Structure formats: C-alpha cells, structure tokens
Amino acid sequence: MTRAGEAGPATACTVCRGGWPQAADRIATLGESAVYLHDDQFFPGWSVLVLRRHATELFELEPDERARLMSEVSGVAHALKLVFDARKINYALFGNLVPHVHWHVIPRLPTDPAPLEAVFAIPHQPVRLGEVERSDRIAGIRRHLER
C-alpha cells in the first residue's frame, strides 16, 4: 500500500509526488486521509480530504477502508459546519484533473452569493488568504476536528 508522498507505482500521481496539495495547507492527518485547506477560499472553509494512499476510484478501496474514509469525510464536514456556521455542506469527488481519491468539502454559508448553484459553476476570482488569516483558519478547523 503506497501512501501519498512515498515512492512506488503511484509516483506519476501529482498527489503521491507531493505536488498537491501544499504541505503548509495541511489541517490534520487522519487515519485514511489528510485534510487541507483549499487554496481558494472564496467559499470560506473549503477543504480537501486526500486519501493517504494512491487510488483513483472508491471501488478500489477495501470496504472497511472506504467506510473509515467516509467517516472522516463526515467528521470534517461536521467540524466545518461548526466553525463556519454553515447552512449546508457540499461534497465533490471527481478526479478528472487530479486522478487520486480526494473529496472537496465545502461549507455553504448564509452569505453565499449563489446558494442554489454548484461551487464549480460560480465564476469568481480566487480568494487567497494572507499567511496569518490562513494559519488562523487552519487552526480553527483543527481545533474542531480534535474534539
């Protein structure tokens, strides 16, 4: 089983090579995944859960592994709801651009500019946080994950 960042047959994968996401954006390492703050914070709290080993499809995971991953997705979603007072959480698993199992977990806030639209369909300029604000946001999510 090759973990992301380790040598092995998955070294062609951007995630497994350590090219994405950035280590500085890591919120926490969980059992099956690691969670990162997405670099675009137009939707505050947008996070990405990345499987710690290489796989491109959910069906490639053993049933227990898949269940643990889904539990982690749910735990991160709950933490994001608490931190950002989200009215809804969106989940996305595509893998077309980054063929490595990863979930986008996106809080949708009461101030959402287009609450009925998919986040990927909303044209916007990416919001890049400054170092202090980014660190504070990561720390806030981390505190809720540790509860």
Cβ atoms of residues 47 and 26 within 8 Å: no
The fold adopted by the segment(s) 24-111+126-145 is HIT family, subunit A (3.30.428)
Residue 146's pLDDT is what?
87
Residue 1's pLDDT is what?
43
- With a cut of 50, say whether residue 47 has pLDDT above it: yes
| Confidence class for position 10, pLDDT limits 50, 70, 90 | low
Task: Return the beta strands (E) in the chain as ranges.
Answer: 26-29, 33-37, 47-51, 88-92, 102-108
CA–CA separation, 1 vs 143, rounded Å? Answer: 30
Compute the average pLDDT of residues 65-94.
98
- Per-residue pLDDT of 81-132, as tens digits, reads 999 999 999 999 999 999 999 999 999 999 999 999 999 999 999 999 999 9
Provide the 3-class DSSP secondary structure of residue 87.
Answer: coil
